[in-house]
Chains A and B, each alone.
Chain A
Amino acid sequence: MQYWNSTYECMSREEMRKVQSERLSNIVKKIYHNVPFYRAKMQKKGIEPGDIKSVDDLKNLPFTYKQDLRDNYPYGLFAVPTSEIVRIHASSGTTGKQTVVGYTRRDLDTWAEVIARTLTCAGASKESFIQVAYGYGLFTGGLGVHYGAERIGASVIPISGGNTSRQLQIMKDFGTTHLACTPSYALYLAEELEEAGFKKGDLKLKAGVFGAEPWSANMRNEIEERLGILAIDIYGLSEVIGPGVASECPCKCGMHIPEDHFIPEIINPETEEVLSPGEKGEIVFTTITKEGLPLIRYRTRDLSVLNYDVCECGRTSVRMSKVSGRTDDMLIIRGVNVFPSQIESVLLEIGETAPHYLLVVDRVDNLDILEIQVEMTPGLFSDEVKKLEEIEGKIKKGIESTLGINAKIRLVEPKSIERSEGKAKRVIDKRKI
């Protein structure tokens, strides 16, 4: 079994707790003194930095919510002067406002480290050719994997997302051994590969790290079968660091969390009480080494289960199960976070009051498709087809510029969208994952 950093990945529980406790108490001191937001929150709870001595005290700290990041947009939660920040990424937020994350030089180093562990889990090494087909840009996927791949000394092919025929040609000609992209894109590539007349044997592909959207065991089997590779599930969110927050090993029995950097907890999302290992709840992260944007007990809204048993691979780090759902109404469509309220804000720009709407998400040929049904209102209606088509076009354009995704707009009759308890149902997810 290959490890990138066996010292930390295979550390005994006792030692790990020591490392975590020390780092936690340091980070709490830092944020208390440097981030007014955290200081106020801690003072309100009557906690002083000195009260946090070990990981056992973590449960006394206040939670941090996505809303806090938005309220302090863009840099309000940074714990260092912006002169120390060397990189900024952002992800879409619910109100059209982005969630901004900043990295110091050391944070980028940490990020490369955790991705290096991820890629090593997938069997990559300095001999590997890693094709990074995640989008490069504000999205953390592309650049995150990129620097981790460089860290292990692999040859990085920074192709970014899209342009499928080029992806395939390069995969074949450059001898790509590892692929990083969303699972739906991996499956799409597999199909196109067959279409283009390539055979599994034409490729040197061995494994892929796939994440940023939910996928099923069936989908994994299909990807592994069709591409003839090992498909590794990875987890991440930009607020915590980006990709690299957790990754499967070849045992494929849960995703290892680099606990020397991120401490996970599982809580009951309603009572906020910490649950025991094995219990399902919302996974919450505390970053204990990040400098730019340290987060204390960050509520991910993702549902998971923690398992502290030593893995067959020899790693002792805790494993989180594949995310089984969300505690809020966020949708992930083609790797993009979509909140119904974002759609609402676009619709509000069209008419005076937002019409009722319904998001229908489906997966056709392994690609997510979004249809937005919009109920006709007297204010929007016209006796001319041209005008109604203009409205459809305007909504479509608004969605595209806000969310960066293509949606089909369908105007429907009033009251045709189902209401439950007076509130319109917002989402129908038909994807069979």
Chain B
Amino acid sequence: MLVKQISVFLENKSGRLAEVTKSLGNEGIDISALSIADTTDFGILRLIVNQPEKAEKVLKENGFTVSSTNVIAIEVEDKPGGLAVALDVLESESIGIEYMYAFIGKSEEKALVILRVEDSQKAIEVLNNKNIKVIPSKEVYEL
């Protein structure tokens, strides 16, 4: 169920993001979701790709500082309050969210959200119990 996310350290200077995407593109790696957390000096690029292991290797070879983290992907109703339902579940179980970002899936009524939580296993369990769909990693990579 856990999705492997690739994180890359980037200095805040022009051209760096292009470098990353070019390196991945050259190797035929497809990016399905990304988000950037930034401060004044640096940023952390987080990526969901179709071949996480290969992406990590390619980026390392190109001199980037890379790490991989387990995250979970969930599907919520694409309507007002849709995300709130899922977040309520986590909140009621006191599962803290480190960060999250949404991305577009292929389905029209559903929105996809990547969550990085303190305890992924527990999160998956409680979400399943409340009938919130946690998307298997294989499906995520194929998006």
Contact = CB atoms under 8 A, between A and B. Distances in A.
Interface of A: 376-378, 381-385, 388-389, 410-416
Interface string B4-40: 0101011100001000000000000000000001110
Nearest to B9: A376
Contacts of B11: 411-413, 416
Interface stretch (B59-67, B73-81, B83-91, B100-108): B59-67
Contact of B41 (A381, A383, A410, A415): A410
B135 to A, nearest CB: 20
B93 interface: no
A385 B9 contact: no
B98 A413 contact: no
A378 B69 CA distance: 13
Given A384-B37, A414-B65, 17 more contacts: A381-B9, A382-B7, A382-B67, A383-B7, A383-B116, A384-B99, A384-B116, A385-B44, A388-B39, A388-B44, A411-B11, A412-B11, A413-B9, A413-B10, A413-B11, A414-B64, A415-B63
A376 B65 contact: yes
A413 to B, nearest CB: 5
Nearest to A415: B63
Contacts of B38: 385
A385 B41 contact: no
A173 B66 CA distance: 61
Contacts of B41: 410-411
Contacts of B9: 376, 381, 411, 413
Contacts of A415: 63
B65 to A, nearest CB: 4
A130 to B, nearest CB: 43
A416 B19 CA distance: 14
A27 B88 CA distance: 82
A378 B65 contact: yes
Contacts of A383: 5, 7, 44, 46, 67, 69, 116
Nearest to A386: B98
Given A383-B7, A383-B46, A384-B99, A414 B39 contact: no
Contact of A413 (B64, B67, B116): B64
A350 to B, nearest CB: 15
7 nearest interchain CB pairs? A383-B7, A376-B65, A376-B9, A383-B69, A385-B37, A381-B65, A413-B11
A19 to B, nearest CB: 59
Contacts of A410: 41-42
Contacts of B42: 388, 410-412
Contacts of A385: 37-39, 44
A8 B128 CA distance: 92
A378 B39 contact: no
Nearest to B99: A384
Contacts of A377: 65
A353 to B, nearest CB: 14
B35 to A, nearest CB: 10
Contacts of A381: 7, 9, 65-67
B8 to A, nearest CB: 9
Contacts of B10: 413
A378 B67 contact: yes
A389 B46 contact: no
A382 B69 CA distance: 9
B16 to A, nearest CB: 8
B123 to A, nearest CB: 17
Interface in B90-130: 98-99, 116
B98 A384 contact: yes
| Residue in B5, B10, B39, B42 whose Cβ sees the most chain A Cβ within 10 Å | B42
A389 B11 CA distance: 14
Q: Of residues A383, A384, A385, A413, which shows the largest number of chain B Cβ atoms within 10 Å of its Cβ?
A: A383
A416 B65 CA distance: 12
A238 B38 CA distance: 45
Contacts of B44: 383-385, 388
B53 to A, nearest CB: 16
A385 B12 CA distance: 14
Nearest to B16: A413
A53 to B, nearest CB: 63
Nearest to A375: B65
A153 B96 CA distance: 68
A108 to B, nearest CB: 48
A411 to B, nearest CB: 5
A3 B65 CA distance: 64
A144 B111 CA distance: 72
Given A376-B9, A413-B9, A389 B65 contact: no
A340 to B, nearest CB: 21
Contacts of B116: 383-384
